[in-house]
Chain A
Amino acid sequence: MPFRRVVVTGVGQVSSLGVSLGDFRTALWRGSPGVRRLSKLDVPGVPEPIGADVPDFNPSEMLPGKNLATVSRGGQFGYAAAAQAFRMSGLGTLDNRAGIYVGTGFGGIFETEETYRACFSREGSRPRPTTIPTAMANAPAGFLASEFRLRGPNLTFTVACASSSHAIGEAFRVVRQGETDLMFAGGVEAPLTPIVLSAWAAMRVLAPAGTDPAASCRPFSADRKGIVVGEGSGFLILEELRSAERRGASVLAEIVGYGRNADAGHPTHPDPDGVRTCLRLALEDAGIPPSSVGYVNAHGTGTPVNDLVEAEALADVLGERPTLLVSSTKAAHGHAMGASGAFEAIATVLALREGTAPPTANLAEPDPALPHLGYVRGEPAAMRTTCALSNSFAFGGNNAVLVFRAMDPLGR
């Protein structure tokens, strides 16, 4: 039986760029970072912490009458993002096979750390009754299933920085293989806590704040110095093509391939061969030649090692050519760990829909040590082909590459 086609019919997000898709799109295409000082956080060893935190997030307004103590911060972000995607899709009542896959790198670290801090800092303190049900990694998946009545497949993928790319890829396969016609897929993360930030600082991978925090994360620049941690959530609605057509849905893009593999090597240093293999697996799955890829939304963390390894792998597999547009949107929305892949998949879908690729914020001149690719800087760049990749390469050596294709107005 031939594989079924899978399309994206809704996307939604909350990130440091704002709490609507319009905010996200505007900031990304302008190359305008949502990176700020986190003056309220007391981070051990980091005198001036910065991050890509979600501004103006009011869960009470969004979930009136909901006992918010029973909903994790990640779950609250997830609801906001998934509700946007659901509204955009135009879906109504869902059948009993509709499901949700969620990626998260740190699970309920926000709630866990808050509980530990309270209990260890004051004698007689004890955990709240909602600690376990909010701190467990699958709390957002359970909450969102309940809110949207998603009774089909429900899994949480924790694969560090590639978590939501794997969630999207696995959901794509579930729909493609016919287990269900509809999946919510994305990721959530709430890692802006004192100890998590301090632990990242201990690894010496955080970009220094400098005088302008918004300019701190500089993927593909020669002076790149590291990552900026972000938070938030992104969700996509994945739907079987015929099912979407039958209900007259507006299709944003098609998801056509997914590669996944493991470096089976170092826990934090990416392996060039692992990355190249994952890119090839994704192209093979999609059944497209390297030359048809016109844009790559890179993992592009802004660390010296990642960007070099990734760019060289892109050149090796897709060809060292200026027509291959490459950008990292992490400079704008930060590295939101398990939510990053979803942000970047959404950015890729928007790029295909609009025919332009967003620039890498803070990129003036590409590092001359990198292969010659079409690094998008300053302004959005026009895309010449209809296929695009979204890369995620996680600590632990877990790689994920998603392949999207633009839809023509007839959805063919």
Chain B
Amino acid sequence: MSGDEPSTLERVREIVARNLNVSPSEIPEDAPLAGFGLDSLGALEIAFEIEEAFHISIPDNRVAEFTTLRAACAAIDAVRSTQAPASSS
């Protein structure tokens, strides 16, 4: 793959926006995602897609931290720091 890799924030923003059925540019980093209709089931779906995309396993208690894009990225970074990425094949 050539070119710059998208940042964690960009990747998460794309996943969250697709799930919430809004444009990525509509979600500021610190905007509460609940304001875009995110509920507990939606958060699980987003966590699932992030696990698949980043090859990590997000503990149950971390899913509740997905309240804003910034908070979600912090949670993901924290998880990544403790987990070796799984095979991406």
Residues of A near any B CB (own CB < 8 A):
60, 63-70, 128-130, 133
A65 in complex: contacting residue of B20, B39, B41, B44, CB < 8 Å: B20
CA distance A97 to B51 in the complex (A): 42
B28 on the A face (CB < 8 A): no
Contact status A67-B37, CB under 8 Å: yes
B38 surroundings in chain A (CB, below 8 A): 67
B20 surroundings in chain A (CB, below 8 A): 65, 67
How close is A402's CB to chain B, nearest CB, in angstroms?
36
B48 surroundings in chain A (CB, below 8 A): 128-129
A130 surroundings in chain B (CB, below 8 A): 41, 44-45
- Closest Cβ neighbor of A125 among chain B residues: B52
The 8 A CB mask of B32-44 against A (1 = contact, 0 = none) is 0000111101101
B64 on the A face (CB < 8 A): no
A60 surroundings in chain B (CB, below 8 A): 21
How close is B1's CB to chain A, nearest CB, in angstroms?
21
Contact status B21-A70, CB under 8 Å: no
- Closest Cβ neighbor of B36 among chain A residues: A65
- Closest Cβ neighbor of B47 among chain A residues: A129
Contact status B45-A69, CB under 8 Å: yes
B47 surroundings in chain A (CB, below 8 A): 129
Closest 4 CB pairs of A and B: A129-B44, A67-B42, A69-B45, A129-B48
B19 on the A face (CB < 8 A): yes
How close is B4's CB to chain A, nearest CB, in angstroms?
28
How close is B39's CB to chain A, nearest CB, in angstroms?
8
Q: How many residues of B contact A (CB 8 A)?
A: 14
B22 on the A face (CB < 8 A): yes
CA distance A220 to B38 in the complex (A): 51
How close is B87's CB to chain A, nearest CB, in angstroms?
8
Contact status A63-B21, CB under 8 Å: yes
9 A–B contacts, CB within 8 A, in A order: A60-B21, A65-B36, A66-B37, A67-B37, A67-B38, A67-B42, A69-B42, A70-B42, A70-B45
A70 surroundings in chain B (CB, below 8 A): 39, 41-42, 45
CA distance A70 to B38 in the complex (A): 11
Contact status A128-B45, CB under 8 Å: yes
B44 surroundings in chain A (CB, below 8 A): 129-130
Q: Which positions 1-42 of chain B face chain A at CB distance < 8 Å? A: 19-22, 36-39, 41-42
B39 surroundings in chain A (CB, below 8 A): 67, 70
Supplied contacts A65-B20, A129-B45, 17 more A-B pairs, CB within 8 Å: A64-B22, A65-B21, A65-B36, A66-B21, A66-B37, A67-B19, A67-B37, A67-B41, A67-B42, A69-B42, A70-B41, A70-B42, A128-B48, A129-B44, A129-B48, A130-B45, A133-B41
B42 surroundings in chain A (CB, below 8 A): 67, 69-70
A133 surroundings in chain B (CB, below 8 A): 41
Contact status A64-B21, CB under 8 Å: yes
B45 surroundings in chain A (CB, below 8 A): 67, 69-70, 128-130
A63 surroundings in chain B (CB, below 8 A): 21
A64 surroundings in chain B (CB, below 8 A): 21-22
CA distance A130 to B47 in the complex (A): 11
A66 surroundings in chain B (CB, below 8 A): 21, 37
CA distance A248 to B47 in the complex (A): 49
Contact status A65-B37, CB under 8 Å: yes
Most chain B beta-carbon neighbours within 10 Å: one of A60, A63, A129, A133: A129
How close is B27's CB to chain A, nearest CB, in angstroms?
11
B21 surroundings in chain A (CB, below 8 A): 60, 63-68
- Closest Cβ neighbor of B42 among chain A residues: A67
CA distance A211 to B19 in the complex (A): 41
CA distance A69 to B44 in the complex (A): 11
CA distance A133 to B38 in the complex (A): 16
CA distance A69 to B20 in the complex (A): 9
CA distance A65 to B26 in the complex (A): 11
Q: Which positions 31-75 of chain B face chain A at CB distance < 8 Å? A: 36-39, 41-42, 44-45, 47-48
A67 surroundings in chain B (CB, below 8 A): 19-21, 37-39, 41-42, 45
Q: A65 with B19: in contact, given A128-B48, A129-B44, A129-B45 (CB under 8 Å)?
A: no
CA distance A66 to B48 in the complex (A): 18
How close is A123's CB to chain B, nearest CB, in angstroms?
10
Most chain B beta-carbon neighbours within 10 Å: one of A67, A69, A128: A67
A65 surroundings in chain B (CB, below 8 A): 20-22, 36-37
How close is B25's CB to chain A, nearest CB, in angstroms?
15
